[in-house]
């Protein structure tokens, strides 16, 4: 058991988004397949708004130009990441319908995908104006939606941090691990001394049971971090940090092996079975979670 696990839990520092060791012609070939796979989606923007019963666009013409440009840039970045990671989206939508409105409180694209409207993306106008729209995050939901909410959000948060063109929720440009560590101390004050055992009060294994489109909820002792702005601001950096740890430590391919077992199917709820972690990593999610907690505590993580 231990030997098999060690073989599977190989450490691949920095292998997350490494360029594949392909020849130039091989890479070019893959790039053209990648372009085909992405297609050439039409980007339709909607800035509809209403004030005092009259139509009143949510953004100024200049702000509209800026968001169009940011979108094209982040889409190009995601394509490049897919080529480098050799991970292509399956059945991507032909059209991205982007709605920017004062009426939205949070950004959304996974929720629409879960009801069969993949490609519909909603952004609160104030976030766009502040330059904090999580464009890369929402694009990841469109191109890599997942039936397991922990995996869907984890990859989106990780890639927003890695390739996003602007700082955005939940870490706003700061390293995910730093933000997660700070929040863990807030959620579990005993963790301030750095004992990873204190983090037993937080169980990521609970998050793995949540199916899209249900929101992530996490208990820390008797406190429930819920589906509200404060709750999500605590949960999302933790989830992003964990997925970033998995990808950086064990490689993207292993993460992908788990991710691809729970494709998002509209109107279904499928978070996946807990066995799939052992199948891919040779270790239960709880073991991986404990290794991440060691990293958060600043202690060396065994290979
Ligand atoms: Zn999300």
Distance 151 CA to ligand 1 centre (A): 10
Distance 107 CA to ligand 1 centre (A): 8
Distance 141 CA to ligand 1 centre (A): 7
For residues 133 and 166, the answer to whether their CB atoms sit within 8 Å is yes
Distance 110 CA to ligand 1 centre (A): 7
CA 167-169-172 angle, to 5 degrees, is 35
Distance 228 CA to ligand 1 centre (A): 14
End-to-end CA distance of the chain: 15
Q: What is the largest CA-CA distance in the chain?
A: 69
Distance 243 CA to ligand 1 centre (A): 13
Q: What is the pLDDT of residue 301?
A: 85
Distance 137 CA to ligand 1 centre (A): 6
- Beta-strand ranges (E) seen in 118-215 are 120-124
Distance 268 CA to ligand 1 centre (A): 18
Q: What is the pLDDT of residue 120?
A: 98
Rounded mean pLDDT, 60-88: 96
For residues 39 and 96, the answer to whether their CB atoms sit within 8 Å is no
Q: What is the pLDDT of residue 31?
A: 74
Task: pLDDT band for 26, please (50, 70, 90 cuts).
Answer: low
Q: What is the pLDDT of residues 238-261, one digit of tens each?
A: 999 999 999 999 999 999 999 999
Q: 184: alpha, beta or left, given left = phi > 0 and alpha = psi -120 to 50?
A: alpha
Q: What is the pLDDT of residue 194?
A: 92
Which residue did the predictor score with more confidence, 83 or 29?
A: 83
The three state secondary structure string of 73-130 is HHHHHHHHHHHHHCCCCCCCCCEEEEEEECCCCCCECHHHHHCCCCCEEEEEHHHHHC
- % of the chain exceeding 70 in pLDDT: 91
Task: pLDDT band for 25, please (50, 70, 90 cuts).
Answer: low
Q: 148: alpha, beta or left, given left = phi > 0 and alpha = psi -120 to 50?
A: beta
Q: Evaluate if pTM is beyond 0.75.
A: yes
Distance 7 CA to ligand 1 centre (A): 33
Q: How far is CA 212 from CA 84, 208, 238, 242, 266, in A?
A: 28, 11, 18, 18, 9
Query: What is the 8-class DSSP label of residue 213?
Result: T
Distance 63 CA to ligand 1 centre (A): 23
Distance 51 CA to ligand 1 centre (A): 29
* Cβ-Cβ contacts under 8 Å for 130 (sequence gap 6 or more): none
Distance 28 CA to ligand 1 centre (A): 31
Q: What is the pLDDT of residues 174-192, one digit of tens each?
A: 999 999 999 999 999 999 9
Q: What is the mean pLDDT of the chain?
A: 91
Distance 215 CA to ligand 1 centre (A): 10
Distance 265 CA to ligand 1 centre (A): 16
- % of the chain exceeding 90 in pLDDT: 84
């Amino acid at each position: 058991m231990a030997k098999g696990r060690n073989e599977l839990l190989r450490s691949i520092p920095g292998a997350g988004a490494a360029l594949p060791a392909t020849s130039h012609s091989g890479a070019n070939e893959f790039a053209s397949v990648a372009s085909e796979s992405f297609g050439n989606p039409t980007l339709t923007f909607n800035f509809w708004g209403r004030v005092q019963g009259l139509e009143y666009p949510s953004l100024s013409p200049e702000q509209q130009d800026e968001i169009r440009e940011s979108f094209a840039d982040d889409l190009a970045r995601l394509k490049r990441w897919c080529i480098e990671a050799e991970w292509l989206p399956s059945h991507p939508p032909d059209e991205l319908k982007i709605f920017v409105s004062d009426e939205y409180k949070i950004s959304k694209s996974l929720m629409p995908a879960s009801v069969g409207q993949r490609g519909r993306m909603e952004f609160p106008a104030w976030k766009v104006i502040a330059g904090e729209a999580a464009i890369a995050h929402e694009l990841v939901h469109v191109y890599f939606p997942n039936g397991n909410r922990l995996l869907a959000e984890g990859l989106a948060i990780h890639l927003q941090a890695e390739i996003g063109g602007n700082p955005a929720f939940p870490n706003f440009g700061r390293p995910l691990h730093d933000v997660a560590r700070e929040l863990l101390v807030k959620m579990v004050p005993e963790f301030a001394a750095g004992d990873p055992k204190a983090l037993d009060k937080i169980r990521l294994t609970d998050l793995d049971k949540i199916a899209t489109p249900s929101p992530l909820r996490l208990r820390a002792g008797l406190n429930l971090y819920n589906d509200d702005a404060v709750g999500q601001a605590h949960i999302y950096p933790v989830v992003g940090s964990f997925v970033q740890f998995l990808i950086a430590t064990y490689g993207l391919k292993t993460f992908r092996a788990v991710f691809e077992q729970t494709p998002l199917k509209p109107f279904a709820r499928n978070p996946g079975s807990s066995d799939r972690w052992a199948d891919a990593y040779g270790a239960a999610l709880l073991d991986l979670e404990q290794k991440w907690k060691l990293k958060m505590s600043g202690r060396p993580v065994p290979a």
